[in-house]
Amino acid sequence: MAFKIAVSNQKGGTGKTTLAVNISAAFEAGGNTVALIDGDPQGTAVRWVTSGSIPLPMTVLSLAPAGKGIGAEIKKQDSNFDVIVIDCPGNLEDPRIASVLEVADFCLVPLSPSPADLFSTVAMIRMIESIRSFRNPRLSSALMLNSVNGKTRMREEILKILTAEEIGEHLLNSQIGQREVYRQTFALGTTIHHHNRYLKGLKEARAEIENLVAEMAQYIHSKRGNGEQNG
Ligand SMILES: Nc1ncnc2c1ncn2[C@@H]1O[C@H](COP(=O)(O)OP(=O)(O)OP(=O)(O)O)[C@@H](O)[C@H]1O
Ligand SMILES: [Mg+2]
């Protein structure tokens, strides 16, 4: 069975597609068979990975047309891949998000490092909790800061708010820097792992994407371990 990772947040432009594409590439580079599923009717992920001059090896499936049947379509791919990464639409009213979360193992929730972004992410967190309680107890999830400017100490601020507001969502240690190379590789139709010419920040970006993938794998593993112990 494939391990299914949804990348979702109702807030637009927090880096869902950027992360979905780049973590797919990193899992693929790590020796996994990977499907990247474009679950967003905007079709950004498909356009990205089919627009470059180097063909990318991961399979890309456009499943947004299935609408709220997208979860069932994802399940059909279960035995074909080791990892399935789903780029979700940026609007919680879109029934595809719940459908994806009902079949996913993990939901990565990227947000910009600002209190305003955290507050607008609360609805996403509540939706994950509700799906975990009523539809899919296997679903684990974590927040992750994207587009972090190295000079700020926003991580501490975000952690304080999570505690003060009693938002019981895990914040990954890994964070992704604000780097032009993410925009550049997007524009070139390549990924941080596949781009083969010098670009400023490429090495650093590759290292942080690999850290993120490793931390997610470890976190998911620990959650699964607990789940098994709890019965
Ligand atoms: N870490 C980063 N550093 C610099 N630019 C970034 C970073 N992450 C994303 N971007 C840029 O921010 C913009 C929005 O990113 P992206 O399209 O991945 O967001 P999204 O959450 O998928 O948006 P939407 O809600 O519209 O689907 C893009 O131009 C992307 O290149
Ligand atoms: Mg997107």
| Segments making up each domain of the chain, as ranges | 3-229
| Tokens 């049947």 sit on residue | 69
With the most atoms of ligand 1 within 8 angstroms of its CB, the residue from 7, 16, 18, 190 to mutate is: 18
What mean pLDDT is reported for the chain?
A: 93
**For position 190, what pLDDT does the model report?**
95
From the CA of 117, how far away is ligand 1's center (Å)? 14
pLDDT at residue 140 greater than cutoff 90: yes
| Rounded Cα distance, 205 and 176, in Å | 8
- What's the whole-number mean pLDDT along residues 130-153? 93
Report the nearest atom of ligand 1 relative to the CA of 178: 3
Burial class of residue 12 (count of CB atoms within 10 Å of its CB; 0-12, 13-18, 19+):
exposed
Provide the 8-state DSSP code for 1: -
58, amino acid identity: M
Name the band, by pLDDT with cuts 50, 70 and 90, for residue 178.
very high
Locate 10 and state its tokens.
């109702």
From the CA of 186, how far away is ligand 1's center (Å)? 9
What count of other Cβ atoms lies within 10 Å of the Cβ of residue 120? 17
**For position 231, what pLDDT does the model report?**
34
From the CA of 27, how far away is ligand 2's center (Å)? 19
What count of other Cβ atoms lies within 10 Å of the Cβ of residue 165? 11
Residues with CB under 6 A from ligand 1: 12-18, 40, 44, 90, 146-147, 176, 178-179, 182-183, 186
| Rounded Cα distance, 63 and 206, in Å | 28
Report the nearest atom of ligand 1 relative to the CA of 177: 1
**For position 163, what pLDDT does the model report?**
93
The model's pTM: 0.96
**For position 4, what pLDDT does the model report?**
97
Contact 170, 219 (CB under 8 A): yes
Report the nearest atom of ligand 1 relative to the CA of 89: 27
- DSSP structure string for 159-174: HHHHHHTT----B-S-
- The CATH fold assigned to 3-229 is Rossmann fold (3.40.50)
- What's the whole-number mean pLDDT along residues 194-204? 95
**For position 217, what pLDDT does the model report?**
87
What lies within 8 Å, CB to CB, of 78 at 6+ separation is 1, 2, 4, 84
State the alpha helices, DSSP H only, in the chain.
16-29, 44-50, 70-75, 95-103, 115-119, 122-134, 154-164, 180-188, 202-229
pLDDT in tens, 65-117: 999 999 999 999 999 999 999 999 999 999 999 999 999 999 999 999 999 99
**For position 230, what pLDDT does the model report?**
42
Helix axes of 202-229 and 180-188: crossing angle, nearest 10 degrees: 90
pLDDT in tens, 44-79: 999 999 998 888 888 999 999 999 999 999 999 999
Report the nearest atom of ligand 1 relative to the CA of 183: 31
From the CA of 147, how far away is ligand 1's center (Å)? 9
Q: Which ligand is nearest to the CA of 179?
A: 1
Name the band, by pLDDT with cuts 50, 70 and 90, for residue 226.
low
Q: What percent of the chain has pLDDT over 70?
A: 97
Residue nearest atom 23 in ligand 1 by C-alpha distance: 13
